[in-house]
Structure 1
Amino acid sequence: MKKYIIALFLGFSAMLQAQNVVSGTVTDISNQPIIGVSVYIPELHKGTITNADGKYILKNLPNGTLKLSFQYVGYTTKHQFIDKLQKENVLNVQLETSTFEMDEVIVSTAFSKIQSQNVMKVEHATMRDLEKNGTSTLIEGLATIPGVSQVSTGTSIGKPVIRGLSGNRVLVYSQGVRIENQQFGDEHGLGLNASGVESVEVIKGPASLLYGSDALGGVLYFNPEKFAEAHTLKADYSQKLFSNTLGSNSSMGVKTSTENWKFLARGSYNTHSDYQISGGDRVTNTRYNETDFKTGIGYSNSVFSSVLRYNFNKLDLGIPEDGPDASGAEQSKSKNTLFPRQGVDNHLLSWNSVIYLKNSKLDVDLGYIANDRSEFEDSNEAILQMKLKTFNYDAKYYLPKIGNLESIFGIQGMHQTNTNFGEEYLIPDATTNDFGVFGTANYEWKSNVIQGGLRFDNRKITTVAHGIAGEEGSFEAINKSFDSFNASLGYKTNLADNLTMRLNVASGFRAPNLAELTSNGVHEGTNRYEIGNSDLKTEQNLQTDLNLEYGNTHFEFFVNGFYNHINNYIYTSPTGEQLEENAVFEYVQDNAKLYGGEIGLHLHPHPLDWLHYETSFETVTGKKQSRSVGSDYLPLIPANNWNNTIRTEFKIKNWFEEGFASLNVNTTFDQNNVSGFETASNGYTLVNLGFGGKVKWGKTAFNVNLNGNNLFDKKYIAHLSRLKNDGIPNIGRNIVLGVNFNL
């Protein structure tokens, strides 16, 4: 018996030390080696760079299919697949000069295909690209992506809107874990900092097949920054300054990797005064301070890959109550928040592990989020405090590939508790449990791909009774269970050379949230008494998407169209009554429909290789299909938008590389299609300038960005601004200077 145990141990040890290797040379089209190319395996969080001869080597790799990306500034990113890894694998790659956007690997979809192979059109943007726009917050950067906008409260709080849907209808993922931070509230922001984020992917449409409840409107999927290449140590420091808010954003990071182990850490601090509108007045108490810390450690070998990440985010937010012209409004450059204010501490712990079997693999994500949200009315004792604790699990088994057929079976779930500690209750103490099971398959032949799947979900919500029935802030105990079946089917094909069509039909669902089921009172900043409805049903939608794309060396064009029908759409409606000197609104349901799309082009004329012109137009219309007589528009639908950018790229001798200069003209049109209790909004045009590049000074090199946003200091009020009802304009002219040093 002892011999068998020793033999088993030695066999397992040998398996752990399997030495699958991929090596090769990276060259340009003239067969000259390229030095410093990043060779990266996203699934293993592992990479290296090419040496002076353009050669690379990656060791300790698992069996099965492997996906490698080759990336270098000025060249088109190339993705290569090795179906069956051998002991020794030679993969030589030739990169072409880049003229357009890179064909990125899309992580947020089921099979992590590159965009050109993906059935679903997913918008991908790096943080570096968004930073070139000079925006002060993460959500402002996201709002520059066609089809994405924001519900904002000043410059500190922004909630994503995807094709007219927001709040709990849009899921946000970070570090592979769904973010749960009391997002039902209008004045609750993302709670994420852009530092330490590599890129974002936007799924515009129902993604319940992969993500369950609350992905009815779409998904924002944030990819964390990559670990360092093997056997390297890197450190960097970045600093941004903002003229309008007298703001500062500082970030410092360090990361290192061995052949198997990897580690990174990053700390950031963000502070802003009250923002200034056109004319010079400041909007009192829109100041805020943010501290963010991220760290991660990973290990990978030929059998498994495991990454543990942690993110702590602390927000100190002022809650604006008076406009800049209101009597007694304080005009101050201070960064110390006034009352009322909001304090939010958020802890996010995630653990991703991939176990590689002979011809299959198991991918498991575990997440824990502790969200502590407090509101302070007139003292440092919180009048409202909610602690939300969420445990998530997501396990996907990738079955062995059969010919061109790939398939996944998965389970997902969530256990969540909400506990109140303050004097005021916005929602009751509650427990939420989710469980979902799904299967999806992808079949590819020639230039065609078809993908489909089915899913079942159950959500159970139980709450604890509180207060005296009939009084403000009282809640009855409820015990609710919501079930939903969902499906998706997508098809991608090349209609002609360089012309791609994607057609998707998918259903999604959203169970009503705690505020919709239980609200009973006036919440800070809403100026209305909201009454929940414990009889609300699950929202269920069906959306059809059509995407056409054409692209060649010097011209790209896209058009996206969608139609989204939602059964039992939940919204607030005025009752005509008054309570606590506030108008009463109750949660009701009607069927609804949203339709619209995006269209755009990117022109890169020859021989003017340094010149780019990009333009895009987006539109969405949302209507109730009332069971009563007549119909009405849905609230919080963004206005039509037309965005134009002229960008030049240049190099000045050997001291200024990767240079760019841009002129952006962004036109937002009138919004007259409003809900019964909304007011129409006037259109406006903003002009923005950008300049930047990499400066080389001896052995020192750093990146610099200089942006002028709202350059002509336009006075305007965005339709989705929560300060609109008080007549408070959005931010005026803002000059942003950013530098980044590799230490």
Structure 2
Amino acid sequence: MKKYIFLIFLMSYSFVAFAQNSVFGTLKSETNKPIINAKITVYESNSYTFSNQNGDFLLTNIPVGTCTLLIEKEGFEIKSETFQLAVNENKKVEITLQTHAHHIDEVLVSSVFNKTQKENVMKIDHLTLKNLQSQGVVNLSDALAIHPGVSQIATGNSIGKPIIRGLSGNRVLTYAQGIRLENQQFGEEHGLGLNANGLESVEIIKGPASLLYGSDAMGGVLYFNPEKYTMSGKTNMELNQIFHSNTQGSNTSFSVKSSSDSFKFLWQNNYTTYADYKTPNGESVVNTRFIEKDIKLGTAYETSKYTADLRYNYNYLNLGLPERNLVDVQFRTPLFPSQRIDNHILSLNQKIFFTKSRLESTIGYVFNNRKEIESPDEVALNMKLKTFNYNIRYYLPTYGKFENIIGIQGLHQKNMNYGAERLIPDAVMSDIGLFATTQVNFSKNVLQLGLRYDQRKINASTFGEEGEEGFFPTVNRKFESFNVAFGVKSKWNDAVVTRFNVATGFRAPNLAELTSNGVHEGSNRYEIGNVALKNEQNVQFDLNVDYTKEHFDFFVNGFYNHITNYIFIQPTGTEIDGNVVYKYTQNNAALFGGEAGIHFHPHPFDWLHITSSYEMVIGQQRGDLNLPLLPANVWKNNFKASFNINSTFKNAYVFVQANYTLAQNRISSFETPTPDYLLLGSGIGTDVHWNKVNFKLFVSGTNVLNKEYIAHLSRLKSEAMYNMGRNVIFGLNFSL
């Protein structure tokens, strides 16, 4: 680890330049009036500012070469302005924003060309995480599952694993701080390992993204963006407190941010504690409690030729594993069996700006220590996973209508066991990938295509005695794959935009699938791997249609995903020492379905927002057999009124949610059907400006009718444990 840390700090001071550029100008509306308090962000750096009373703004330390300004103001269409900036140039711009009642757009960091949503060839969903906290979510997976096309496999409140269009685990790649997060995500009982504190947003890619991210991105990507630094010359502090009635849960966070023209700093700290949740009949589900501690640190340095952003995140999670017949004691402290997880993420992002091109690199180190503890004196599992990864991209000079990028990615990973039991063997894995992609811009059409080659090597030594539980065979495998992607976005008129994408993806089998041989306590079954497994390889077709008018939006997304050599686990019909035996196998499979939705705010009642969406996914393997762990179809509805009461109470809102989950009868041979259910939620909130004190407050409720239900993908379903009953959430956020 020491050599990796030394390398990071060495690179952070490897390039220093002192050229000074600036951009200044005026924002105005279509009626030539100044636009006040609009946010102007420089995408290529961490800089942003706000327009003053005259609509004027000034930004310094702007990178040379291609510069993109993103202008955001409520009530106006978001706008991006791109121009070239020479060394020591002070550029004046005048920007006009068009009025628009509700549309929101963002620059998509996870897309290869970093366009806004309306400019991007692939449909990528962008969610602001702070907006989701007021809806009563407990963890990040809860927050993601609110969105169409995303659901989760959950173990109580503490563990949630996101599912994108029926695929999860190692088929969905998670990025944080610009690097891939590696934390033994192969297991159903392993959560994301991230805390929403200090995370600004998440971008969701639905479908194969192997072109950009390599193996494990065949089902999609969750790309978490950290919070931005404060604007230059400012120091901000925030205190956030949330309470949950059902679990007597508390989430407390505090942050400090400070920035000068060149140097920026932030510190964020979070402490979360939850007791056992209660079902609608008042029963406590013992050992669903957990305690989480999270610290995030960041520092950045910026000049016109170079930027560096160094971030560190430490996350500690102590969570109970619920079982029947546990004695309910200690209130909040997790009982045994429990998991204790330490996760460290260290990353450095660097950008070097040339006159017409840009070189960007992100290197990172992830250390994950996962323990499963059966008693105070027995650590059953103790796995330490160390991962060093890198991602280097060169943005070539734009040539006519062509934008081109080439890149290289890779990782080196080592897994070591120190506990009495082993789920996977000691092993070393290495990846390397090369890719090139281009985008061609026409007047109403944008084409994007790319090619990538990946190679993965897995090496593990023999452990144990052959024929006995815990025996692992020698693994010396190499997996490789070529993948391609093609997409086209067409703007038919001012209202209709279509996107069509076809892409291939792949996933190499993980260590659990190759080598498992023993009882997996978290799943209560005996699992047997298959060292001869092949690559999963898929091709997915996506079609998106967006219809946008001033007071009405409509979207429909359809997909078809064919997977060759799909890996899954199924019962063999035998038992070993009283545990049902499950074995990993392969078969060709297909998933298809989509999402459709509307957003309606009728004129002249622009304060009223009505959204409704429907999502479905069907998955079958060859032989017309249903794939396991598929989410049920869901119809989600939200009615929200937004308004300003007076100068003290602004941005007030009230909402009502009604989510109807249909019965799930398309099940695999070892699942049981799940009946339908309707859940209602509601809430109110406002910003308060009182003297010089500014704060936000909200009160919301989930499952307000106290409905008894069990989600199809709840891992407590086999124990007939209901999901959480009524929960009232109170939140307060102070900006100091």
TM over 0.5: yes
Q: Residue 646 of structure 1: which of 628, 634, 639 is its match?
A: 639
Amino acid at match of 1:89: K
Q: Residue 523 of structure 2: which of 504, 521, 526 is its match?
A: 526
Superposed displacement of residue 334, structure 1: 1.0
1:4-37 CA distances to partner (integer Å, 9 max, x unpaired)?
Answer: xxxxxxxxx9993333210012234444434433
1:465–1:475 contact (8 Å) kept in structure 2: yes
Give the equivalent residue in structure 2 for 1:426: 423
1:274–1:333 contact (8 Å) kept in structure 2: no
Measured at CA, do residues 30 and 131 of structure 1 come closer, stay the same or move farther in structure 2, by a change above 3 Å? farther
- In structure 1, how many angstroms separate the alpha carbons of the residues matched to 2:526 and 2:492? 54
Give the equivalent residue in structure 1 for 2:619: 622
- In structure 2, how many angstroms separate the alpha carbons of the residues matched to 1:243 and 1:617? 30
Matched ranges for 1:441-590 at <5 A: 441-590=438-587
1:497-535 CA distances to partner (integer Å, 9 max, x unpaired)?
Answer: 210000000000000000000000111131211100000
Q: Residue 117 of structure 1: which of 116, 119, 126 is its match?
A: 119
Matched ranges for 1:352-363 at <5 A: 352-363=349-360
Q: Residue 651 of structure 2: which of 655, 658, 666 is its match?
A: 658
Query: How large is the Cα RMSD of the aligned pairs?
Result: 1.5
Give the equivalent residue in structure 1 for 2:101: 99
- In structure 1, how many angstroms separate the alpha carbons of the residues matched to 2:86 and 2:676? 57
2:485–2:504 contact (8 Å) kept in structure 1: yes
Amino acid at match of 2:124: V
Q: Residue 707 of structure 1: which of 697, 700, 703 is its match?
A: 700
Superposed displacement of residue 84, structure 1: 4.6
Superposed displacement of residue 474, structure 1: 1.4
Q: Residue 252 of structure 2: which of 250, 253, 273 is its match?
A: 250
Q: Residue 225 of structure 1: which of 221, 224, 227 is its match?
A: 227
1:61-96 CA distances to partner (integer Å, 9 max, x unpaired)?
Answer: 222111111223454432221145571211223344
Give the equivalent residue in structure 2 for 1:64: 65
Amino acid at match of 1:688: G
- In structure 2, how many angstroms separate the alpha carbons of the residues matched to 1:257 and 1:273? 38
1:17–1:60 contact (8 Å) kept in structure 2: no
1:79-138 CA distances to partner (integer Å, 9 max, x unpaired)?
Answer: 221145571211223344552231211110100011111000001111122123221111
Give the equivalent residue in structure 1 for 2:661: 668
- In structure 2, how many angstroms separate the alpha carbons of the residues matched to 1:732 and 1:28? 49
- In structure 2, how many angstroms separate the alpha carbons of the residues matched to 1:495 and 1:400? 29
- In structure 2, how many angstroms separate the alpha carbons of the residues matched to 1:239 and 1:288? 17
2:134–2:731 contact (8 Å) kept in structure 1: no
- In structure 1, how many angstroms separate the alpha carbons of the residues matched to 2:305 and 2:207? 36
- In structure 2, how many angstroms separate the alpha carbons of the residues matched to 1:168 and 1:14? 37
1:529–1:580 contact (8 Å) kept in structure 2: no
1:533–1:587 contact (8 Å) kept in structure 2: yes
- In structure 2, how many angstroms separate the alpha carbons of the residues matched to 1:696 and 1:28? 27
1:341–1:376 contact (8 Å) kept in structure 2: yes
Give the equivalent residue in structure 2 for 1:325: none
Superposed displacement of residue 383, structure 1: 1.8
Give the equivalent residue in structure 2 for 1:741: 734
Matched ranges for 1:317-336 at <5 A: 317-322=319-324, 328-331=325-328, 334-336=331-333
1:195 aligns with 2:192: no
Q: Secondary structure at the match of 1:16?
A: coil
Q: Secondary structure at the match of 1:717?
A: coil
1:601 aligns with 2:601: no
1:274–1:332 contact (8 Å) kept in structure 2: no
Q: Residue 677 of structure 1: which of 640, 645, 670 is its match?
A: 670
2:64–2:84 contact (8 Å) kept in structure 1: no
1:726 aligns with 2:732: no
Measured at CA, do residues 524 and 14 of structure 1 come closer, stay the same or move farther in structure 2, by a change above 3 Å? closer
- In structure 2, how many angstroms separate the alpha carbons of the residues matched to 1:516 and 1:330? 35
Which stretch has the larger CA shift, 491-500 or 220-229?
A: 491-500
Superposed displacement of residue 427, structure 1: 0.5
Measured at CA, do residues 104 and 37 of structure 1 come closer, stay the same or move farther in structure 2, by a change above 3 Å? same
1:20–1:302 contact (8 Å) kept in structure 2: yes
TM-score normalised per structure 1: 0.95
Q: Secondary structure at the match of 2:44?
A: helix
- In structure 1, how many angstroms separate the alpha carbons of the residues matched to 2:47 and 2:473? 52
- In structure 2, how many angstroms separate the alpha carbons of the residues matched to 1:465 and 1:111? 45
Q: Secondary structure at the match of 1:694?
A: strand
Amino acid at match of 1:495: W
Amino acid at match of 1:685: L
Give the equivalent residue in structure 2 for 1:54: 55
Q: Residue 411 of structure 1: which of 408, 411, 426 is its match?
A: 408
- In structure 1, how many angstroms separate the alpha carbons of the residues matched to 2:141 and 2:572? 33
Give the equivalent residue in structure 1 for 2:271: 269
1:716 aligns with 2:717: no
Superposed displacement of residue 370, structure 1: 0.3
Q: Secondary structure at the match of 1:186?
A: coil
Matched ranges for 1:356-435 at <5 A: 356-435=353-432
1:284–1:332 contact (8 Å) kept in structure 2: no
Superposed displacement of residue 394, structure 1: 0.5
Superposed displacement of residue 271, structure 1: 0.3
1:118-159 CA distances to partner (integer Å, 9 max, x unpaired)?
Answer: 000001111122123221111101101110000000000000
Give the equivalent residue in structure 2 for 1:210: 212
Superposed displacement of residue 292, structure 1: 0.3
**Structure 2, unpaired ranges of 5+:** 1-13
1:134–1:706 contact (8 Å) kept in structure 2: no
Q: Secondary structure at the match of 2:132?
A: helix
Measured at CA, do residues 336 and 449 of structure 1 come closer, stay the same or move farther in structure 2, by a change above 3 Å? same
- In structure 1, how many angstroms separate the alpha carbons of the residues matched to 2:543 and 2:486? 12
Q: Secondary structure at the match of 1:543?
A: strand
Superposed displacement of residue 331, structure 1: 4.4
1:273–1:333 contact (8 Å) kept in structure 2: no
1:588-642 CA distances to partner (integer Å, 9 max, x unpaired)?
Answer: 00000000000000001101111111000000000001xxxx3210000000000
Displacement over 4 Å in runs of 4+: none
Superposed displacement of residue 718, structure 1: 0.4
1:493–1:501 contact (8 Å) kept in structure 2: yes
2:15–2:306 contact (8 Å) kept in structure 1: no
Give the equivalent residue in structure 2 for 1:295: 297
Q: Secondary structure at the match of 1:255?
A: strand
1:698 aligns with 2:691: yes
Taking every aligned residue pair, what percent have the same amino acid on both sides? 50
